[in-house]
Chains A and B, each alone.
Chain A
Amino acid sequence: SQTIHQWPATLVQPVGSPLSLECTVEGTSNPNLYWYRQAAGRGLQLLFYSVGIGQISSEVPQNLSASRPQDRQFILSSKKLLLSDSGFYLCAWSVQPPEAFFGQGTRLTVV
Chain B
Amino acid sequence: DQQVKQNSPSLSVQEGRISILNCDYTNSMFDYFLWYKKYPAEGPTFLISISSIKDKNEDGRFTVFLNKSAKHLSLHIVPSQPGDSAVYFCAGGYNKLIFGAGTRLAVHP
Is the CB–CB distance between A43 and B89 below 8 Å?
yes
Describe A's contact surface by its main secondary structure: strand
Residues of chain B within 8 A (CB-CB) of A36 are 99
Q: Which residue of A lies closest to B102 (CB)?
A: A43
Total contacts A-B at CB 8 Å: 61
Q: Which residues 52-66 of A sit at the B interface, judged by CB distance below 8 A?
A: 57, 59
Confirm or deny: A74 has a beta carbon within 8 angstroms of a beta carbon on chain B.
no
Residues of chain A within 8 A (CB-CB) of B34 are 98-99
Binding site for A on B (CB under 8 A): 6, 31-34, 41-46, 49, 51, 89, 91, 93, 95-102
Binding site for B on A (CB under 8 A): 6, 32, 34, 36, 42-46, 49, 51, 57, 59, 88, 90, 92, 94, 97-105, 107
